Amino acid sequence: MTDNIRSASRKEADALIMGGGIAGLESALNLANMGFQVIIVEKDLSIGGRMIHLSKVFPTLDCSACITTPKVSETARHPNIKILNNSEVKHVSRDENGFYRAVIEQKPRYVIDSLCTGCQDCEEACPVVVKDEYQYNLVGRKAAFIPFSIASPRIAAIDLDNCILCGACEKACGPGAIDFGQETQITEITVKTIIVATGFKLFDPDRITRYGGGKFKNVITAMQMERQLVPTRPFNTVLRPGDGKVPDKIAYVLCAGSRDVTVDNPICSQICCMYSIKQAQLILGAVAMADVTIYFLHVRAFGKGFDEFYQQAKMMDVQFIKGKVGRIKEMENGDLMIRYEDIASGQVKETQHDMVVLSVGILPNMGIEELFEVDKIKLDPFNFYNQPNEMTDPFKSNLSGVFIAGTSSGPMDIPDSILSAGAAASQAAKYMKKSQVNVSTRATTTV
């Protein structure tokens, strides 16, 4: 590592943003519009985070991509913002003047950015098909691939783990953009402030074996349903993965992996009730005559317009059953039998459905704390990034000059992520201004 760093390029900027989801983009744009130089480090091939993959958003049913893409392209084109995709921060230290130094590793995509036109000829030529993680494994993608249609940047990448090095993509690529000789780049940057916006992880449904997640073909996650409802959806309708049948009777199981001490996640994920109610309404628009039943313990419709949205779903004939789902059984024809305790009658009941959607929750996305050399950024009891003054300064971490934005500090929806990102950016700007005497003793060069 030391040799690499010596040969690495060095840059200076005002702020480093870790994570290019909606929170990271919002923080970056706020700071960049105030004139600060910002570097976004995003580990994925595209910026946009989870939001860019959603269908519509609760409670307004606005198209998620239509809201995300203007922010994505504004960020990508902003003269004060530099984006490092396919990159991760590997180490953070602090110098005697209070500057943070971060070592960033950018992995190769084996495609020369400036030459790739996004034509997809390589994709067509590539003989290797693997599961498409951007469609949440519902369909396949090639080893030479454009991550998804509205990716930013919209350029190809080669998945070397699955590539058989047949050379078909190289032959197919007119501009000669494929470059298997690319190597990992190490960049060392010096900044005054850091915003952690690394978002959340989704609960892995395989961990609740009694629901058959990852085992029963027609038990899917809400993120897989989300992809079936987007305009760029893989099947152009809603299908059950087991046999391609359009489902009639769809069930949602709320709190799958949230508020459940048996899977070590006692907290409420805050978004699952509302995204399930949203998806139920969208399904009724997408599949004529579908019946949607939501099994819940409590419906938490606490935000602005949320309760009205819940009532609207009821008026649209979405069924709400207050009941604890104990077990899901797979039938021979792929249907699913849900066994639950009906709280209204106190009886144990069973109901058959074509497809079950597990409303999986939000888990912390840890890892940043290990990067700090001396003073570590702290986690809260549930492993989200700690907000020591949650009531008065929720955007502050325990380290001076390091701020937290979006779901990296806990479950929240998009409006709250954007709010917290704006607050983190304004606090980071205040910090840079206030500490100018101590910290900003040298000129900052443009990134």
Ligand X SMILES: Cc1cc2nc3c(=O)[nH]c(=O)nc-3n(C[C@H](O)[C@H](O)[C@H](O)COP(=O)(O)OP(=O)(O)OC[C@H]3O[C@@H](n4cnc5c(N)ncnc54)[C@H](O)[C@@H]3O)c2cc1C
Given the complex with ligand SF4, which of 69 and 120 has the nearer CB atom? 120
Residue 407 interacts with, from ligand X, ligand SF4, none (CB under 5-8 Å by kind): ligand X
- Chain position carrying tokens 């000669």: 176
- The amino acid present at 234, given as its one-letter code, is P
DSSP secondary structure letter of residue 352: E
Q: Is 273 in the site for ligand SF4 (CB under 6 A)?
A: no
Residue 177 interacts with, from ligand SF4, ligand X, none (CB under 5-8 Å by kind): ligand SF4
Of 22, 32, 143, 357, the residue at the interface with ligand SF4 (CB under 6 A) is 143
Q: Is 167 in the site for ligand SF4 (CB under 6 A)?
A: yes
Of 12, 49, 85, 427, the residue at the interface with ligand X (CB under 6 A) is 49
Asked whether the beta carbons of 370 and 274 are under 8 A apart, the reply is: no
Q: Is 42 in the site for ligand X (CB under 6 A)?
A: yes
Q: Which residues sit opposite 92 in a β-bridge?
A: 102, 372
Burial of 444 (0-12, 13-18, 19+ CB in 10 A): middle
State the alpha helices, DSSP H only, in 252-302.
272-286
Given the complex with ligand SF4, which of 163 and 196 has the nearer CB atom? 163
Shortest Å distance, C-beta 72 to ligand SF4: 19
Residues binding ligand SF4: what is the number (CB under 6 A)?
28
Contact range with ligand SF4 by CB under 6 A, out of 173-181, 198-206, 276-284, 306-314: 173-181
DSSP secondary structure letter of residue 324: E
Given the complex with ligand SF4, which of 140 and 285 has the nearer CB atom? 140
Q: What b/e sequence results for 355-374 when a residue is b if at least 16 CB atoms lie within 10 Å of its CB, and e otherwise?
A: bbbbbbbbbbbeebeebbee
Gap between the terminal Cα atoms of the chain: 23
Of 99, 110, 145, 275, the residue at the interface with ligand X (CB under 6 A) is 275
CA dist., res. 405 & res. 424, Å (int): 6
Q: Is 21 in the site for ligand X (CB under 6 A)?
A: yes
CB count, 10 Å around CB of 187? 19
Q: What b/e sequence results for 380-414 when a residue is b if at least 16 CB atoms lie within 10 Å of its CB, and e otherwise?
A: eeeebbbbeeeeeebbbbbbebbbbbbbbbbbbbb
Q: List the x/- string, 93-132, binding to ligand X by CB under 6 A.
A: ----------------------------------------
Of 365, 386, 387, 427, the residue at the interface with ligand X (CB under 6 A) is 365
Site for ligand X in 219-258 (CB under 6 A): 222-223, 226
Q: Which residues sit opposite 363 in a β-bridge?
A: 201
Q: What share of the chain is helix, strand, coil (3-state, %, to 5)?
A: 25, 25, 45
Q: Is 85 in the site for ligand X (CB under 6 A)?
A: no
Site for ligand X in 396-435 (CB under 6 A): 406-407, 412-415, 417
Q: List the x/- string, 96-135, binding to ligand SF4 by CB under 6 A.
A: ---------------x----xxxxxxx--xx-x-------
Given the complex with ligand SF4, which of 128 and 263 has the nearer CB atom? 128
Long-range contacts of 235-238 (CB under 8 A, 24+ apart): 235/138, 235/139, 237/286, 237/287, 238/283, 238/286, 238/287, 238/290
Q: Is 323 in the site for ligand X (CB under 6 A)?
A: no
Residues that bind ligand SF4 (CB under 6 A): 111, 116-122, 125-126, 128, 143-144, 155-156, 158, 163-169, 172-173, 175, 177-178
Residues that bind ligand X (CB under 6 A): 18-24, 41-44, 49-51, 54, 57-58, 88, 197-200, 202, 222-223, 226, 271, 275, 278, 365, 367, 406-407, 412-415, 417
